[in-house]
Structure 1
Amino acid sequence: MTDWYNEDLAYIHDVGYRDYALKSMPGILEILQHDNISTGLIIDLGCGSGLSTEILDRNGYQVLGIDISGAMIEIAKTRVSAAEFRVESLFTAEIPPCAAVISIGECLNYLFDANSDAILDALFHRIYNALPIGGTFIFDAVIPGQVRPGEIVKSFTEGQDWIVLLEKQEDLEQQILTRRIITLRQVGDLYRRTDEVHRQRLFNAQLLSEALGKIGFQVEMRDRYGQFSLPPARVAFIARKPTGIM
């Protein structure tokens, strides 16, 4: 398995970048309750360090968390001992019968592995087939607009024992967002450096909605989860398997 979100970046993401998951979950729970999904198995695709998994577990759901990062899964197992976790690509993972599927934090955009349109379409079909009538698939995705054409944005964030240096740019011709991430994590009296380059495919929200609709989903697009407004250039999708489908 690839080493995306290595040990240091997984730790930093867990302690320093948890707001996205924590602020998204109240709105996601509202959607589940609205859709009469109050019990059952939830598949958490791209579960990361288990922040969303923990909230689902506390609210009475069974949870299967899937993530490509072994380091993230190790944190998640410690956080939520009752849940099941798997280290594998969410694009090729088996989706067992479940009440709902969620994927928070633009996980479907990542080009960590070969996620061609055919593989993404196959994932949508597997999710649709795994859901019961009335089941719900909730996720968010990145669209163009984080970085102006031709521009490279550089920033840094620091915590008590870590620093992250970030460089990002968009290639609108290829529809790719590239993030270069340098982490410095304190180990004893020294700081350990690691580097990762993350590439994300930028989706056309309308085309993505149409692809889900062709499979049979009824799709709603939003710019928020409940009271939490998504950051710029993100769209939330609520894809429901409608009643009356045999």
Structure 2
Amino acid sequence: MNKWYKEDLAFIHDDGFRDFALKSAPGILEILAENKIHDGLVVDLGCGSGLWAQELTKADYHVLGVDISEDMLNIARTRVPNAEFRIDSLFKTNIPPCNAVTSIGECLNYLFDPNSDRQTLVQLFHRVYNALTPGGVFIFDILEKGQVAQGTTIKGFTQGKDWVVLVEKEEDQEQITLTRRITSFRKVGEHYRRSDEVHHVRLYEATAIANELSGVGFQVETTHSYGQFLLSKGHVAFIARKPVGVAVKMSSKALHWAKI
């Protein structure tokens, strides 16, 4: 599981790229309130270092965070000791009955799970739908096609205190994937330590995803912002509501959460 977002990149992501989670949080909390979800369990798929989980617990929600990176979860457990965190693939993990499911920061695009494909994504939609209480919401965002012009490479870097990260991005329009080659340098003691990771993400069309969600039974709304926080070009957020009056199945294994 610890193949991606290893120790140094997990630290850098938490330290230098936290704005997305923190600036999204107020708008997502507003969405929960608008749907009369003021408490109970929220399952956060791709929870990372727990920044969004921390905001949820501050607002008196219970949190189950799931992530594939052990090093990300080490940070999350320290940051939010009163939340529960689980190392697992977000496409395979058991989702207990809950009032909301979130997946913030294009997590559903990632191809960390070798079995991840369009069918697996739709299966996840079904599992989320079955886990949500009537009136519950599924809030997530995705990247669409067109992030990088065909045949070109985008290069950039970001630096912080005692670290720098370099990223190259290329898009394969035939495979409909985006590849990020990431090289990071982090100062440990007197020297800088290098680490390299390659991340592949599948790109989607918002209209197709909305149709899949509707087919599952969700009432779907798309947006290009979380409240006042505008998403970047080609970045679309979804608010998928499970209609009130739809029964939810509760397994005996999930009774722990039902008692919270």
TM-score by length of 2: 0.93
State how far apart, in whole Å, the 2-side matches of 1:119 and 1:109 are: 12
Is the Cα contact below 8 Å between 1:68 and 1:90 reproduced in 2?
yes
Which structure 2 residues correspond to residues 113-152 of structure 1 after superposition, within 5 A?
A: 113=113, 114-152=115-153
State how far apart, in whole Å, the 2-side matches of 1:190 and 1:221 are: 46
Which structure 2 residues correspond to residues 67-146 of structure 1 after superposition, within 5 A?
A: 67-113=67-113, 114-146=115-147
TM-score by length of 1: 0.98
- Which amino acid counterpart does residue 231 of structure 2 have in structure 1? L
Q: Secondary structure at the match of 1:133?
A: strand
**Cα deviation code 1:135-156 (max 9, x no counterpart):** 0000000001221121100001
Q: Does 1:164 align with 2:165?
A: yes
State how far apart, in whole Å, the 2-side matches of 1:2 and 1:160 are: 25
2:46 corresponds to: 46
2:208 corresponds to: 207
Q: Secondary structure at the match of 1:140?
A: strand
Identical-pair percentage: 59
1:233 corresponds to: 234
State how far apart, in whole Å, the 2-side matches of 1:2 and 1:104 are: 20
- Which amino acid counterpart does residue 18 of structure 2 have in structure 1? R
State how far apart, in whole Å, the 2-side matches of 1:214 and 1:2 are: 35
Q: Secondary structure at the match of 2:135?
A: coil
1:57 corresponds to: 57
Number of residue pairs the alignment of both structures matches:
246
- Which amino acid counterpart does residue 11 of structure 2 have in structure 1? Y
**Cα deviation code 1:74-94 (max 9, x no counterpart):** 000000000000011000000
- Which amino acid counterpart does residue 200 of structure 1 have in structure 2? V
State how far apart, in whole Å, the 2-side matches of 1:218 and 1:170 are: 31
- Which amino acid counterpart does residue 82 of structure 1 have in structure 2? N
Is the Cα contact below 8 Å between 1:145 and 1:232 reproduced in 2?
no
- Which amino acid counterpart does residue 67 of structure 1 have in structure 2? D
State how far apart, in whole Å, the 1-side matches of 2:239 and 2:201 are: 21
- Which amino acid counterpart does residue 127 of structure 1 have in structure 2? V
State how far apart, in whole Å, the 2-side matches of 1:85 and 1:2 are: 15
Is the Cα contact below 8 Å between 2:2 and 2:71 reproduced in 1?
no
State how far apart, in whole Å, the 1-side matches of 2:147 and 2:131 are: 33
Q: Which segment is superposed worse, 179-188 or 143-152?
A: 143-152
Q: Secondary structure at the match of 2:221?
A: strand
Shift of residue 2 of structure 1?
Answer: 3.9
2:256 corresponds to: none
State how far apart, in whole Å, the 2-side matches of 1:152 and 1:118 are: 29
**Cα deviation code 1:187-246 (max 9, x no counterpart):** 111100000000000011111110010000010000000000001110000000012334
State how far apart, in whole Å, the 2-side matches of 1:154 and 1:92 are: 33
Is the Cα contact below 8 Å between 1:24 and 1:226 reproduced in 2?
yes
- Which amino acid counterpart does residue 19 of structure 2 have in structure 1? D
State how far apart, in whole Å, the 1-side matches of 2:146 and 2:236 are: 12
* Unaligned residue ranges in structure 2 (runs of 5+): 248-260
* Unaligned residue ranges in structure 1 (runs of 5+): none
Is the Cα contact below 8 Å between 2:99 and 2:133 reproduced in 1?
yes
State how far apart, in whole Å, the 1-side matches of 2:179 and 2:44 are: 25
State how far apart, in whole Å, the 2-side matches of 1:145 and 1:204 are: 10
Q: Secondary structure at the match of 2:239?
A: strand
1:16 corresponds to: 16
State how far apart, in whole Å, the 2-side matches of 1:118 and 1:233 are: 22
State how far apart, in whole Å, the 1-side matches of 2:17 and 2:133 are: 33
